[in-house]
Structure 1
């Protein structure tokens, strides 16, 4: 193998291991599922205003812009906007207190910022487009449980596992491994899981970001307890967690619609 081929192979390997980074949640497929589900629960008023902002770009396609733009160094400051790590599992009152004091650059503080900005009537069009794309993405992010994981292991990135025999980590399995294993397009996936009960819809349509984060962190806690460094994950892991995966995607979509309906009321 000549030197050029060796260098190319090394770059490819590094890229493959780098891509499932801490700030990427759900991967392209998961974010599109959340965006597509959300579109089905928009009010007419919200749908019209979103159309005026995004034009012919669907919410499903807009959802991945914040990950795509990371290739541009001018947007590197957005990386911490994708997650909120916690140093322990909080009770809900503890988490509320923590978030009330939260001044860090993270998904919680920036989602609040974006919502407030999008409610402004005089916001420039370019800002509307960028901020709406970010809201769509970040709401999806916080429903990937490892984006509300532990600080000490970087949201599961430091927990090394194999996924069907391939080296991976816990964060990456939840970003994309589980979803891609289902072998569905995002539109097929939405058709398969978009069946919330009326009780779920009633509860999930409430806009309460701190509760969303808390619920996601509870799922993360369960996930942590079900795996250890070096585990070999495959068929059984999918069987045990696919229901959690689908519920988080569905909740993310309904929650996203709820917050957009509030913004564009």
Structure 2
């Protein structure tokens, strides 16, 4: 009977979509990024977003997924990930017709730099950039094309149905029981000037390569995940969040450099 119940829960999980770092992870990266913005970048962000913080902006692209507008339902869906088969380098030809996170990042960067673009378009571009940089640091957002970035790898997380993608997006981080302000403060305390210098890389192909290198090691040997899996991988997840925060700032500093 227990096996039948688990099988039923796993089947239910198969229809549960996972998208990106969850709200906690994205807000952590946004909060961290604000600590490393240059004066020019900080002023530009405030001019575009007003009182909206980067932590708040970071989750906006996910919050719009249910927006019935064709833009959200037909175009924007693939802009949270890239596909990079094992043993290859990133190639835009692997992207869906609508593009992927890399092509979207380039498009939104051009819009953000275009001072003739409308305020609404530049705001959308900024929010997407913050979100996409975060996404590309999650190992399962650089999928190998075989399992939808781990969405098809069904697991049990502390006896609740999930999938490998969701474990990395939300389950491990939420299990910490921290708010995004608590987690970002704790992580920031451990980001030394040496780490900031080493992590200040604005080439997204480098971020993707790092995620692809980490990817094989996150696949579990069995479907029942709990304390041991978290112990083995939470350090990597926190480091990727920290790196993403530093790099969001570095990327924006470069975009807004005068």
Output the TM-score relative to the length of structure 1. Answer: 0.86
Q: Which residue number corresponds to residue 57 of structure 1?
A: 52
Q: Which residue number corresponds to residue 87 of structure 1?
A: 85
CA distance in 1, matches of 2:228, 2:17: 22
| Residues 14 and 154, structure 2, Cα contact 8 Å, conserved in 1 | no
Unaligned runs of 5+ in 1: 1-12
Given candidates 209, 227, 230, the residue that maps to 1:238 is: 230
Quote the offset at 1:61 in angstroms: 0.6
| Residues 20 and 175, structure 1, Cα contact 8 Å, conserved in 2 | no
| Residues 33 and 190, structure 1, Cα contact 8 Å, conserved in 2 | yes
What secondary structure is seen at the aligned counterpart in 1 of 2:62? helix
Unaligned runs of 5+ in 2: 1-10
Quote the offset at 1:203 in angstroms: 2.2
Q: Which runs of structure 2 are paired with 1:155-194 in the superposition (5 Å)?
A: 155-194=149-188
Q: Which runs of structure 2 are paired with 1:38-187 in the superposition (5 Å)?
A: 38-74=33-69, 75-76=72-73, 77-90=75-88, 95=89, 98-99=91-92, 104=96, 105-187=99-181
| Residues 102 and 109, structure 1, Cα contact 8 Å, conserved in 2 | no
CA distance in 2, matches of 1:19, 1:61: 24
CA distance in 2, matches of 1:169, 1:32: 22
Q: Which residue number corresponds to residue 223 of structure 1?
A: 218
Instruction: Give per-residue Cα distances to partners, 1:209-252, cap 9 Å, x unaligned.
Output: 1001100111112213xx14x52100011111111010000001
What secondary structure is seen at the aligned counterpart in 2 of 1:168? strand
CA distance in 2, matches of 1:252, 1:238: 20
Q: Where is the helix percentage greater, Structure 1 or Structure 2? A: 1
CA distance in 1, matches of 2:60, 2:247: 19
| Residues 156 and 170, structure 1, Cα contact 8 Å, conserved in 2 | yes
Quote the offset at 1:85 in angstroms: 1.8
Quote the offset at 1:102 in angstroms: 6.2
RMSD of Structure 2 on Structure 1 (CA): 1.8
Quote the offset at 1:103 in angstroms: 6.2
Runs of 4+ in structure 1 over 3 Å off = 16-20, 101-104
Quote the offset at 1:19 in angstroms: 5.0
CA distance in 2, matches of 1:199, 1:55: 32
Output the TM-score relative to the length of structure 2. Answer: 0.88
Q: How many residues are paired up?
A: 241
| Residues 83 and 95, structure 2, Cα contact 8 Å, conserved in 1 | no
Q: Which residue number corresponds to residue 254 of structure 1?
A: 246
